[in-house]
Chains A and B, each alone.
Chain A
């Protein structure tokens, strides 16, 4: 892939991730546990890891949270801290699994781990923000919902990858 193509693809992924991030915060899906989200932007993070590599995937995650928070109006607030923390922790763990356990976990498994780590990080950050260890009681409820949402984003990423041109299928 030429340098220009990579750059354009990176920019497209950032734009899509930021759009999904904003869209998701506006979706009025009634969730039984407050704070549960689908994690749509994670689809793009997974695609970035597979199409471009780990550094670009981190760029996409950071740029997505910055832009998404800017558009959504939560820049530098507590919601921003939680988004950024969750996004960074999940992207690093997903990259680690992609690199070291290729073939052991499918894309769906990687997505599940990412979703779980995202939730764990966010609950810990929220507990630190409000100075209340009792908030950790939310974690089991969030992890239960991380299973269907992680499955969903993993499958969605799988379909996106299957439909994309073969030359974008793997790194470099």
Chain B
């Protein structure tokens, strides 16, 4: 049922995906020991930046376009604890702690990103 071209297509897709994932994991592991910060942007505008340290905990609410996201940080990790968006993908993303991990709430255009304080973050160079 599968033609030769189909099988090559599958192989190419899997190799591309796995190498991309490998690159991502390599990138993450290289940055894990450095000091890092959380950057929250709403609709492309940076609305809040704070350092992510062990022993600090708390939560706050950010208003997106017309709803809210509750951001919780604890033990050097951050997550969206609660949101009133329809898909809840941001809440299901869970905790993040290592650059360049990020949580995205598409309906409210909120991006929560971990960046390294030594600023080797590729996105910042690109921007």
- Residue numbers of A with Cβ under 8 A of B are 34-35, 73-74, 77-79, 82, 101, 103-106, 108-109, 112-113, 116, 126, 129-135, 137, 139-141, 143-144, 146-147, 151, 155, 158
Report if A112-B1 is in contact (Cβ < 8 Å); known contacts: A73-B86, A126-B104, A131-B43: no
Flag whether B93 is at the interface (Cβ < 8 A).
Answer: yes
Apart from A106-B2, A108-B2: 6 A-B pairs, beta carbons within 8 A: A101-B5, A105-B9, A132-B104, A134-B100, A141-B20, A147-B10
For window 76-112 of B, CB contacts with A under 8 Å fall at 86-87, 89, 92-93, 100, 102, 104, 106-107, 109-111
Interface centre among B13, B92, B110, B127 (most CB of A within 10 A): B13
From A77, A112, A146, contact of B6 by CB (8 A): A112
Interface centre among B9, B43, B86, B109 (most CB of A within 10 A): B9
Tell me, rounded to whole Å, the shortest Cβ–Cβ distance linking A146 to chain B.
7
- Residue numbers of B with Cβ under 8 A of A are 1-3, 5-6, 9-10, 13-14, 16-21, 23-24, 41, 43-44, 86-87, 89, 92-93, 100, 102, 104, 106-107, 109-111, 113, 122-123, 126-127
CA distance A135 to B123 in the complex (A): 10
CA distance A132 to B115 in the complex (A): 13
* B16 / chain A contacts, CB cutoff of 8 Å: 140, 143
CA distance A78 to B25 in the complex (A): 29
Q: By the criterion CB–CB under 8 Å, are A129 and B109 in contact?
A: yes
Q: By the criterion CB–CB under 8 Å, are B1 and A130 in contact?
A: no
Give the 7 A-B residue pairs with the shortest CB-CB distance, closest first.
Answer: A140-B20, A131-B44, A109-B6, A144-B17, A143-B17, A34-B89, A140-B17
Q: 26 A-B residue contacts at CB 8 Å? A: A34-B89, A35-B89, A73-B86, A77-B107, A79-B87, A101-B5, A105-B6, A108-B2, A112-B10, A116-B13, A129-B106, A130-B109, A131-B41, A132-B41, A134-B122, A134-B123, A135-B102, A140-B17, A141-B21, A143-B16, A143-B20, A144-B14, A147-B13, A147-B17, A151-B10, A155-B1
Of all chain B residues, the one with the shortest Cβ separation from A106 is B3
* B86 / chain A contacts, CB cutoff of 8 Å: 73-74, 79
CA distance A112 to B20 in the complex (A): 18
CA distance A135 to B86 in the complex (A): 20
